[in-house]
């Protein structure tokens, strides 16, 4: 392989990984933006998304529908997963986050941490053979093409397309719709928004559903990309998604996207171009976070400086 092709291949590898980080980071940033909450259960929502997709696929298979057009199957799987995880997100908000409103932020943080452990252990205990890694089915026709020596898989294209579509959708949602305006209002000044007659509770729950649905998509994409899912996959991914959000600037949606991509690229390049770097691949991300927290705590996109947590 020519040198430049290697670099582009690594760029593509980083882009695919970064897109997944971005989707998770958006969730973190939404929760933080609207109610100043760091939701540690978000990583488990992502894990749940992967498992719900797996169950959906096997149910479809049991009904003999898996032979249908793969686009139909994918759409059904993504839809079911997003709805399910949105509901779980809403349930988490209503059952444990809402009662904590007004309590010190540290309490809410602990509560979400507790929820994450419960969700993780529940999947391990109740999913058949849940402690072992599960094989994730190929939902896309396998295939790839070469572009100037760079191999591009259909899965990578799909992953990047889905991520891009979701980001664009989010842009319109936040900037062009009423709900987006309510969300921004709540984020800027909750009391003022309430005084203007906004139903804050509803906006918060909707935000949770939105963020959780995006996290669930990241879970499905991760399953499709690596073909393996595990009950504890949410922990590391959650922390990385959070890191990406911090790097980008917590509370800023574009920051989350950029932060995720940056993290993906840095990990790839560390593994590729630092001798012996592959063993530190997972550490690099956290080094970056520490760097940002020390030198630029507001992230790349300066959204709001937070004193809490």
Partner 1 sequence: MKKYVALLLILSLIVMSFGVVGCGQKQAKTVKIAYIGPITGPNAAIGLGMKNSAELAIKQANASGKLPYKLELLVLDDASDPAQAVNAANKAASDPDVVAAVAHFNSGCALASVHAFHKFGLPAVIIAAIHPKITQNGYPEITRVIGDINIQEKVAGKKATTEFGLKKFAVIQDQTDYGKSNAEAFMDEVKRNGGEIVSYDGIAVGQQDFSALLTTIKAKNPEMIFFGGLATEAALIKRQMADLKIPAIFMSDSGILSSTFNEIAKDAATGTLAHGYGAPIEDLPGGQAFIKAYNEAGFKEPYEAYGPFAYDAAGIVIEAIKKVGPDRAKLVNAIRDTRDYNGVLGKTSFDQNGQTTADLVTTYISENGKWVPYYKSTLKVKDKKIQ
Is 239 near partner 1 (CB under 8 A)?
Answer: no
Q: How distant is the alpha carbon of residue 256 from its chain centre?
A: 10
Is 282 near partner 1 (CB under 8 A)?
Answer: yes
Binding mask 91-130 for partner 1 (x = CB under 8 A): ----------------------------------------
Q: What is the dihedral of CA 304, 306, 267, 4, to 10 degrees?
A: 20
Sequence-ordered list of residues with C-beta below 8 angstroms from that of 81, at least 6 positions apart, any chain: 49, 52, 53, 56, 216, 217, 219, 220
Q: DSSP H helical segments within 63-153, as ranges?
A: 70-92, 105-126
Q: Do residues 11 and 266 touch, judged by C-beta distance below 8 A?
A: no
Residues 103, 196, 228, 309: which binds partner 1 (CB under 8 A)? 228
Q: Do residues 182 and 198 touch, judged by C-beta distance below 8 A?
A: yes
- d(Cα 244, Cα 285) in Å, to the nearest integer? 8
Helix (H, G, I), strand (E, B) or coil at 225: helix
Nearer to partner 1, 13 or 39 (CB): 13
Is 159 near partner 1 (CB under 8 A)?
Answer: no
Nearer to partner 1, 108 or 243 (CB): 243
Binding mask 262-281 for partner 1 (x = CB under 8 A): -----xxxxxxx--x-xx-x
The region of 65-73, 131-139, 162-170, 255-263 touching partner 1 under the rule CB under 8 A is 131-139
Is 9 near partner 1 (CB under 8 A)?
Answer: yes
Is 10 near partner 1 (CB under 8 A)?
Answer: yes
Nearer to partner 1, 232 or 298 (CB): 232
Number of residues located near partner 1, criterion CB under 8 A = 35
Is 1 near partner 1 (CB under 8 A)?
Answer: yes
- d(Cα 119, Cα 65) in Å, to the nearest integer? 30
Is 189 near partner 1 (CB under 8 A)?
Answer: no
> Shortest distance, CB of residue 239 to partner 1, whole angstroms?
13
Q: What is the dihedral of CA 240, 243, 244, 245, to 10 degrees?
A: 130
Nearer to partner 1, 132 or 161 (CB): 132
Q: Do residues 198 and 55 touch, judged by C-beta distance below 8 A?
A: no
The position carrying tokens 């209503």 is 94
Give the binding site for partner 1 (CB under 8 A): 1, 6, 9-10, 13-14, 16-17, 132-133, 135, 138, 142, 144, 151, 153, 222, 226-228, 230, 233, 236, 267-273, 276, 278-279, 281-282
């Amino acid at each position: 392989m020519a040198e430049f092709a290697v670099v582009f291949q690594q760029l593509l590898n980083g882009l695919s990984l970064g897109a997944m980080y971005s989707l998770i980071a958006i969730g973190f940033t939404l929760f933080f933006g609207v109610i100043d909450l760091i939701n540690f259960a978000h990583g488990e929502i992502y894990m749940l998304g992967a498992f719900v997709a797996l169950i959906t696929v096997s149910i479809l298979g049991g009904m003999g529908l898996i032979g249908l057009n793969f686009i139909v199957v994918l759409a059904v799987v993504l839809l079911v997963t997003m709805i399910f995880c949105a509901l779980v997100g809403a349930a988490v908000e209503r059952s444990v986050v809402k009662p904590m409103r007004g309590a010190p932020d540290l309490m809410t943080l602990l509560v979400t941490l507790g929820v994450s452990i419960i969700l993780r252990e529940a999947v391990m205990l109740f999913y058949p053979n849940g402690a072992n890694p599960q094989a994730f089915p190929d939902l896309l026709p396998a295939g790839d093409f070469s572009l100037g020596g760079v191999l591009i898989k259909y899965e990578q294209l799909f992953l990047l397309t889905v991520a891009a579509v979701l980001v664009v959708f989010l842009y319109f949602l936040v900037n062009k719709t009423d709900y987006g305006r309510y969300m921004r209002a709540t984020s800027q000044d909750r009391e003022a928004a309430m005084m203007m007659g906004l139903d804050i509770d509803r906006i918060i729950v909707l935000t949770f559903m939105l963020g959780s649905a995006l996290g669930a998509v990241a879970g499905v994409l991760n399953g499709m990309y690596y073909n393996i899912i595990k009950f504890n996959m949410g922990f590391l991914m959650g922390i990385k998604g959070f890191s990406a959000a911090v790097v980008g600037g917590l509370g800023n949606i574009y920051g989350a996207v950029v932060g995720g991509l940056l993290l993906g690229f840095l990990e790839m390049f560390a593994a590729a171009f630092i001798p012996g770097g592959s063993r530190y691949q997972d550490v690099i991300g956290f080094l970056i976070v520490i760097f940002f927290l020390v030198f630029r705590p507001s992230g790349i996109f300066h959204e709001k400086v937070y004193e809490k947590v």
